[in-house]
Amino acid sequence: MMPDSILLGELERDALTEIVNIGVGRAASSLRKMIGDQVTLSVPSIDVVSQRRAARLISEREVAELVAVRQDFDGPFSGRALLIFPESNSLELVRAVTGDSLSAEDLGEMEHEALTETGNVILNSCLATIANMLKRSLAMTIPEVLRGDSAALFEIDDDIAQDGLVLFLYIDFAVRKRDIRGYIAMIMDIPSLVKLKELIDEFIARVVGEDG
């Protein structure tokens, strides 16, 4: 059961979706400059779920191995951010980012670098925008690339009760007319989610105050 203290109401969810969409809009703009082509990114849905549920949501949709870029963040709320792609999509993304001229061998070598760079742009833009609009700042670690199934990425151990929760975002991603789907997951503990909810409420109060 989710504690009431972290459940997002409809207005809070709408506000957070709007903030995150601005963040991914900025990420799309940065990626457009990086690869010199049209990039569209959108976040149609946001959910707060358990780590187990997040892993299950991805494993129900993706049968292939997964690739993720991971960055930890710290500030008034802290946690771990993951940008997750099915492996086939990650190579598509590398092709889109590097152009189609690379051989299969070069593509493999470039994959790590291209994923790190893309993950860094997307996660940084999202988190920096969230922090900025909530009038706070976050420190981010250097991105790492991970591979494995969803249970491995969410560090699920059957012998340990998971108390981490996940702010789970599905992202639609189109680069050079290729459809690339992915997920952003922010793993946070309950105190961090409570703090995030408080900051969203302050943001809503500011916006309502400005409109009033």
What are 184's strand-pairing partners?
A: 83, 169
- Model pLDDT for residues 42-79, shown as the tens digit of each residue: 877 788 888 888 888 888 888 888 999 999 999 999 99
The answer to whether the beta carbons of residues 118 and 98 sit under 8 Å apart is no
**% the chain with pLDDT above 70:** 91
- The whole-number pLDDT of residue 165 equals 86
| Torsion, Cα of 126, 128, 130, 134 (10° steps) | -170
**% the chain with pLDDT above 90:** 26
At 1, is the pLDDT very low, low, confident or very high (cuts 50, 70, 90)?
Answer: low
- Model pLDDT for residues 162-183, shown as the tens digit of each residue: 557 888 888 877 776 677 778 8
Q: pTM for the full model?
A: 0.85
The answer to whether the beta carbons of residues 20 and 43 sit under 8 Å apart is yes
Return phi, psi of residue 83, to 5°: -110, 115
- Model pLDDT for residues 104-118, shown as the tens digit of each residue: 777 777 778 888 888
Q: What angle (nearest 5°) sits at the alpha carbon of residue 147, between those of residues 142 and 148?
A: 140
